[in-house]
Amino acid sequence: MKEKITIWFLVCVFVPFFPGILPAQEFPTKPINVLIGYAPGGSTDLSVRALASEVSKILKQPVICSNQPGANGTLVLGRVKGEKPDGYTIFSAPTAAFGATPHVQPVPYEPLKDFTYIMQYALYQSGVVVRSDSPWKTLEELMEHIQNNPNKIKYVTAGIGSGGHRGAIYLEERYGLKWNHVPVKSGMECVTTLLGGHVEVMSQTTEWKEQVRAGKFRLLVITSDQRLKSFPDVPTLKEKGHPFAVYSGLCFVGPADMPAPVVEKLQNAFTQAMKTQVFLDVLDKFDMPTAYLDSASLTKMLPKEYQQTGEQFRRLGLGIYKK
């Protein structure tokens, strides 16, 4: 009896000085909110929701997803950084939001200081597509047409600073293009915009996959690092001699200073959910490979990506370094 009283006394005395101890051990005791910086229906939204449904079973608490699109996800990141670092509000983010987007446009956060990086689970794949009834069969034909018809061609992406936009910026600088950017809120909105003939070109992640397979769109080039499993004959920009590839993973982050046990519990739950068929089916739908990085590896990788992308953009005169 005396031992129990002594233990309880020590808990009462020391826990106020270490407030993260008990909450981290008990986490989670209430629903977890996952904010998605894109509109519903795209690769980010569907992959996050597939993971969230499985994580809710693993952690035995609801995992509630809400879409808060705007400025390619950077607006909601500005909000997340101010949330309590208790693990109950986290964000699904492209790694580009921390390693690349700050070199494209001003952002309302410090990319390497304001967040706790929980884990990465997959890689986006990107490409340039046109409608199949367009006259352009190759990237070179499209580039030549835009060069000869300045300000006549419009292209759509899922937002300023997105992977698709970064690919388009590179092409613009490389070929001296004058064309008009139409940013929208999601990859699926990109698809409907091109389908409806409101633009001539889309530079975007693989929400266009089913339309290419159905013969409605034509895929001209892959702007990410490797050819796609579904379209093995379509080359990458690098294979065409360009020193450029869009890199962006999908990850989960929270506010800075989250307790390590909470990060570990979330990381392990999402990692377990990655093995489920419902999640793998979503990745297959968008031709996206799994690419797992734990919290420590992701935290180590992002500063390198930030530095490398900054050097690349400075060298090429892209984004905020455009002269």
Q: Check if the beta carbon of residue 21 is closer than 8 Å to that of residue 15.
A: yes
Where are the domains positioned within the chain? 2-124+248-321, 126-240
Instruction: Specify the pLDDT at position 4.
Output: 46
| Residue 18 to residue 173: CA distance in whole angstroms | 53
List per-residue pLDDT tens for the chain, 323 residues long. Answer: 545 444 444 444 444 444 444 445 689 999 999 999 888 988 999 999 999 999 999 999 999 999 998 777 788 898 889 999 999 999 998 998 999 889 988 899 999 999 999 999 999 999 999 999 999 999 999 999 999 999 999 999 998 888 899 899 999 989 999 999 999 988 999 999 999 999 999 999 999 999 999 999 999 999 999 999 999 999 999 999 999 999 899 999 999 999 999 999 999 999 999 999 999 999 999 999 999 999 999 999 999 999 988 887 888 787 888 87
Segment 34-53, tens digit of pLDDT? 999 888 988 999 999 999 99
| Residue 3 to residue 318: CA distance in whole angstroms | 66
Instruction: Specify the pLDDT at position 8.
Output: 47
Quote the CATH superfamily of domain 2-124+248-321: Bordetella uptake gene, domain 1 (3.40.190.150)
Query: For residue 129, what are its two tokens?
Result: 């597509």
Instruction: Specify the pLDDT at position 304.
Output: 93
Whole-model pTM: value is 0.82
Fold of 126-240: D-Maltodextrin-Binding Protein; domain 2 (3.40.190)
**Amino acid making up residue 165:** H
The answer for residues whose C-beta is within 8 angstroms of residue 119's C-beta and 6 or more apart is 251, 252, 266, 267, 270, 271, 292, 293, 294, 295, 298
Q: Do domains 2-124+248-321 and 126-240 have the same CATH topology?
A: yes
